[in-house]
Amino acid sequence: MIGQMEHAERLLLYTTVHEVKPKLALECGTWQGMGSTLFISQAIWENRADGVKGTLHSFELDADLIENAFKAYSASFQELIHDSVVKFHDTDFLGAILNDDYKGATFCLLDGPDDSAFTFKCFNRMKELMSTGSVLILHDWNSQKCEIVRSLANPDNGWEIVQILDTKTGMCKLVRI
Ligand SMILES: C[S@@+](CC[C@H](N)C(=O)[O-])C[C@H]1O[C@@H](n2cnc3c(N)ncnc32)[C@H](O)[C@@H]1O
């Protein structure tokens, strides 16, 4: 398994997607697609047995990485591509979510660049796009990437922290209230 997350972090993504059963899910930071993306996609695929047909839109700025991910899925996980369980985008995540195409997403993972201002802008925009009960997960919660949003993840700003994983870089699960 190629990816940049610890097992406990991938497990949290997988169990949360089973819990939320999103029809529309978003991910910032595909990298090679074999870490977080695969765990989220697998859970969305399994949710189909419960009658929920969801799609993950996974965004990656590096066109070579996203092409490799697409090729790997086409070779090994064709059903996830053919049934639109996952759609890969070689696009800036923030630019993509600024229009309203992704309004109503009920699950989102932020695992993009090491840039606290970027994470802050995504965090604010997801608040506008997500309704009550939706889940936002931030990877690298303990790092500089999340230093602005750490102080804003509270009910006054429309979010409740439901879980923090004490992994090496940390992961935080927030619910929109
Ligand atoms: C930490 S890695 C993601 C790891 C992946 N989630 C995993 O589990 O293996 C962060 C990724 O975000 C990508 N990235 C950086 N800026 C981005 C942007 N503006 N929009 C989308 N992806 C971006 C980087 O190219 C990099 O591949």
- Going along the chain from its start, the domains and CATH numbers come out as 7-176 (3.40.50.150)
- Whats the size of the chain, residue-wise? 177
Q: Which atom of ligand 1 is nearest to the CA of 62?
A: 25
What is this structure's pTM? 0.98
> Cα separation of 170 and 173, whole Å?
10
- In the structure encoding, which two tokens stand for residue 13, read together? 């993504």
User: What pLDDT digit, counting tens, does each position of 62-117 carry?
Assistant: 999 999 999 999 999 999 999 999 999 999 999 999 989 999 999 999 999 999 99
Overall average pLDDT of the 12-22 stretch: 98
* 59 Cβ inside 6 Å of ligand 1: yes
Q: Report whether 33 contacts 23 (CB < 8 A).
A: no
Q: Which atom of ligand 1 is nearest to the CA of 36?
A: 8
